[in-house]
Chain A
Amino acid sequence: MTTFTKFDAPGLLSELSSDALESWSVTMTDHTAQFASRFGRYFDPTAPDAPAEVTSATIVWSASPARLLGELTDPERWETADSTRDQQDEYCEWRTTRDTDGRLTSVVFSTEVPEYWGHIAENDRELLVALYREHVDPGVVEADLFGAEGIYVRNNRWNNATSDGIAHLRQQSNTLLAALDLAAEATVQRVDANGRRVKDRRELVACGRLGEPLRNSDPQIADIINDTVAAGSAVTLATPLGLYLDRLQSAAFRTPDGTDPATFWTPIRGAEGHVVRARFEVPAELGYVLADVTVDGRPLEFGTQVADKVRVRIDALVTDSAVPVTTKPCGV
């Protein structure tokens, strides 16, 4: 039997005060309860009547924008996705660092949801600035992060589409609420004009207006949840709510000295199994840089080549359910 009483911080991060952590949990509970009230097969794991028996389900996808796969050649999509975080729409964003010769030296990945950083901003400005100084730039000052009315600017000068550093997700689709909404909406079974259940994942996303059909993430989340519900279950996103860097699939990389490239992947934020920020970089003592590494036999020139091998994850909980399934036609 599993009992959930609260929503932990994403990544099980422990930097918030107990009050701020509690208010995060309350906020997430409110959101979850709202979705649970609207969708019969989406449940609130912290509710008093929450199911006692649940199993976990893992949903993964590639961090690299699938939308570009059918549009561009590999070198073009690598350059395009690196050029602006507006292109990075798979709930994972990254920034690269290059040396004076323009050679790739490191890639920092983040799946930190903007809602959490907004929550920090509301509760502890000092902590917010300290985090920016530690992870983005020592020169960050509080005024850089807030607008004229004192509201935190997610897309501030240190965390915008082309800024050198990266604090958290900022692409418009990459939010925790978008993921929650998608998961809850995906519990609705969709039927086409002939009354047949829509099963193709891209068709499902288009039919239910569940996001972008050509992404890796939206069809993957929607399809698995929709199928799970069709099989007689109810679902919810697991606590701690968040998007996670599941792992780097490093076997395709080759290093000049034979060092295991998996050792270049360094989790920076988040508990083990719940990493939300990581860096891919060659340790200085090895005397070479990422540009000297190959992936699938090609020199590493872009962060997106690494993103191709990064798995992003969201966790769900599943339980048997007798609640009637909601069925709707497309577009409703």
Chain B
Amino acid sequence: MTQIEIAQAASPPHRACSQLNIRGLSDDTVSRFIHGLDEAPVLLSAEEAAAQLQDQFAVRLLNAGIFPNTAGEVLQALEQIDAGGPLATQRFFLVGEGSQLSADVSNAQRNMRFLISCGPGPEGAEVVVSSFHPDQGMVEVMAWDHGTGGFNFYRTMPDSNAWIFAGNSHHALVTPTRGHGPFESHVNGNILMKELKTPWVNWHSPFAQIPATSLASQGLDTHPWVNRLEPGGGYTLEDETVRPGILRWSAARADAIAAGTSAETPARMLEQLLSTLTVNLTSSQTTAVSAVGGSSAQVDLPSTFFVDADMLGVVGLPAPPRLKVASSVYVQTLTDLAVELGDGDLFVQPGDTHFAFVVPERAFEDVATVREALRAGLLTPRLVASLVMVDFSNPVFSPTREALLAHLGAVAWNGSGPKFSEAVAQAIITSAKAATPGTAEAAFAENWAVGEDFVAPFTSRLNAYYALVEQVIATPEGFAGVYGVAESRRNRVKDLPIFESQLLFSNSNLPPAARLMTVTASVEEIT
């Protein structure tokens, strides 16, 4: 009997995937190991694999008896098996939390890795490969399954060319597989790209190149993959792979619920709206160095820091104004709060990240999910608007909005979006807490009472808040408070599986605390 050992040491590419470091699997095999479902790897016969795995990676390689071990071998095999076909179109990208540090910095953990999309199409790539090194094992693959829909998640093993099938996007949504294995970080079954807006602080892109010399410590600065890096970098990856892939999966989810063929219900989608299962990162367009050096008089602040701007847009509410802080105020705050950037090990430098004010924002996958739910008629705009306007000044990590999750369990999905939405609203507004001012339920009840014509009254409320924010960030004291909220949210991200490097955020000397923005643009510290 084969001795199977599950390695305990955390290893790249994703912290959560360390559970999949399994030794002792036989070469030239594919096993299913879906955490929450399987106690141990289950070897798939050729027939089982053919029936269960209908993505282009499995169909063209694993199911055909081809078992590459390294990322380089995966790409070569796809290129050969589909010569002249879509899978031979492979685009190379480079990411690393320390990628924008000067190449002279030799002691930083840059966490650099390659991501390669294969078979680009109108709905994104067919196969996506992630690897720290072209010629080593420990490769992660995501590939769209044309049979079941959703992405299949694969992983090679450290010392063999055995492959593990770790689950499909569907497994991310429901118990007992939800939150386990790859779905600890891919919480909704989507492809991950932390930054989905310009200027992509950690990606090789037209906004910021990653010099090849940054790969020298890995011996990869002259590797052929470096010459093949997509000139568009993060810009191309976002537009051609990640966003379309997220839209594809979001649409498939909504269509499946509407067709009655899904194990999830719209309540799972509302969970994404009410809580913060994951985030994207955004930042100023202004570099910290240009603010400090004086070449930028102002630092623009991402609007999604102040409100859930993208979700508000989904229900027809206008975008907030561009909010900016004077560079002098920003720089003074960096100094006063002793802001520095470090990798938690040897490297530390004073100041902020390359692009200033990196903060978490509402995940694009949440926005896509809700938008698709609205399209498919699973939710009503009134319900979405009334929920998102609860504690709107805290677009992520809102304990108030999250409190409303408690009411979802009482509402069954009956196949009708309008009836379900009405039932959710009634469950909240008829609850005992709705009668208590200051509760999430009372806030929702007030929003719900506005009715179907919510755009004008909600816009008015938002505009009053924006005006107050503009006043607050005009002063060093006010902006320091805002900075404290930003740091509080960053600290929450550090508890998420997507946090893989200390270089993601700068740190200040502020004591750790949960801080919230109020609708009057003041800062409230939660003890």
Residue numbers of A with Cβ under 8 A of B are 58-62, 66, 69-76, 199-203, 206, 213-214, 216, 219-220, 223-224, 227, 249-254, 260-262, 296-298, 309, 311, 313
Contact = CB atoms under 8 A, between A and B. Distances in A.
B400 interface: no
Contacts, number: 101
Contact of A60 (B231, B286, B295, B318): B231
B13 to A, nearest CB: 23
B336 interface: no
Given A70-B286, A213-B290, A223-B209, 9 more contacts: A58-B231, A60-B206, A60-B231, A72-B322, A73-B321, A200-B287, A251-B241, A311-B232, A311-B235
Contact of A251 (B120, B198, B209, B231): B120
A216 B324 CA distance: 20
Contacts of A200: 287, 289-290
Contacts of A74: 319
Contacts of B284: 70
A71 B297 CA distance: 12
B139 to A, nearest CB: 24
B322 A260 contact: no
B350 interface: no
A77 B243 CA distance: 21
A248 B295 CA distance: 33
Interface in B328-369: 367-368
A264 to B, nearest CB: 11
B290 A201 contact: no
B243 A201 contact: no
State the majority secondary structure of interface residues on B: mixed
Given A251-B240, A297-B247, A202 B321 contact: no
A73 B322 CA distance: 6
B: contact size bracket: 35 or more
A66 B198 contact: yes
A218 B296 CA distance: 17
B455 to A, nearest CB: 14
A66 B285 contact: yes
15 contacts: A59-B231, A70-B285, A71-B300, A73-B319, A73-B322, A201-B209, A202-B295, A203-B289, A213-B290, A214-B285, A220-B207, A251-B241, A252-B247, A297-B368, A309-B239
Contacts of B235: 61-62, 249, 311
A216 B122 CA distance: 25
B198 A69 contact: yes
B289 to A, nearest CB: 5
B122 A250 contact: yes
Contacts of B243: 251-252, 296
B206 A61 contact: yes
A252 B239 contact: yes
B290 A227 contact: no
A251 B124 CA distance: 6
B460 to A, nearest CB: 18
A290 to B, nearest CB: 16
Contacts of B300: 69-71
Most buried by B among A69, A216, A223, A313: A69
B104 to A, nearest CB: 9
B121 interface: yes
A227 B209 contact: yes
Nearest to B100: A200
A60 B290 CA distance: 23
B444 to A, nearest CB: 25
B211 A227 contact: yes
A71 B322 contact: yes
B232 A60 contact: yes
Contact of B313 (A66, A224, A252, A298): A298
B206 A297 contact: no
A224 B204 CA distance: 12
A223 B209 CA distance: 8
A200 B291 CA distance: 13
Contacts of A250: 122
B208 A297 contact: no
Contacts of B295: 202-203, 206, 213
Contacts of A69: 198, 285, 300
B285 A297 contact: no
Interface string B488-525: 00000000000000000000000000000000000000
Nearest to A62: B235
Interface in B271-307: 284-287, 289-290, 293, 295, 300, 303
A311 B320 CA distance: 28
A180 B314 CA distance: 44
A296 B244 CA distance: 8
A62 B286 contact: no
A223 B231 CA distance: 13
B32 to A, nearest CB: 30
